[in-house]
Amino acid sequence: SQTIHQWPATLVQPVGSPLSLECTVEGTSNPNLYWYRQAAGRGLQLLFYSVGIGQISSEVPQNLSASRPQDRQFILSSKKLLLSDSSFYLCAWTVGGGDGYTFGSGTRLTVV
């Protein structure tokens, strides 16, 4: 069966520190992978998506970046965190252009 793993679940980081959030998918090949951000009281905001290894499309040009070093691995990074990066980050996957996403359990990031 297909599963998605996202870690860590919670993270507290100082302003200016680097960030690395990881997401892996099991049980499927060549998934479309997504990073979303969800702020309180707001809809999910698409940050990045990838349809293949090394291919990244950015929807929100900020101090965040994404990479896909392997078929089922998606990484969200930042070189220097800002206070405004505090949010709930979600990884998701689909296969092709089909049905709804399967989301990971999310990472609550607090920048202090």
Partner 1 sequence: EDQVTQSPEALRLQEGESSSLNCSYTVSGLRGLFWYRQDPGKGPEFLFTLYSAGEEKEKERLKATLTKKESFLHITAPKPEDSATYLCAVRPSGGYQKVTFGTGTKLQVIP
Shortest CB 112 distance to partner 1, Å: 19
**Which of 13/44 has CB closer to partner 1?**
44
Shortest CB 45 distance to partner 1, Å: 8
Shortest CB 95 distance to partner 1, Å: 11
What is the distance between the alpha carbons of residues 8 and 26, in angstroms, rounded to a whole number? Answer: 17
Compute how many other C-beta atoms are within 10 angstroms of the C-beta atom of residue 5: 14
Say whether the peptide bond before residue 14 is cis (omega within 30 degrees of 0). no
User: Phi and psi for 99 in degrees, rounded to 5?
Assistant: -70, -170
**Which of 36/85 has CB closer to partner 1?**
36
Contacting residues toward partner 1, per CB under 8 A: 6, 32, 34, 41-44, 46, 49, 51, 57, 90, 92, 97, 99-106, 108
Q: Measuring CA to CA, which residue among 67, 65, 55, 101 is closest to residue 85?
A: 65
**Which of 4/64 has CB closer to partner 1?**
4
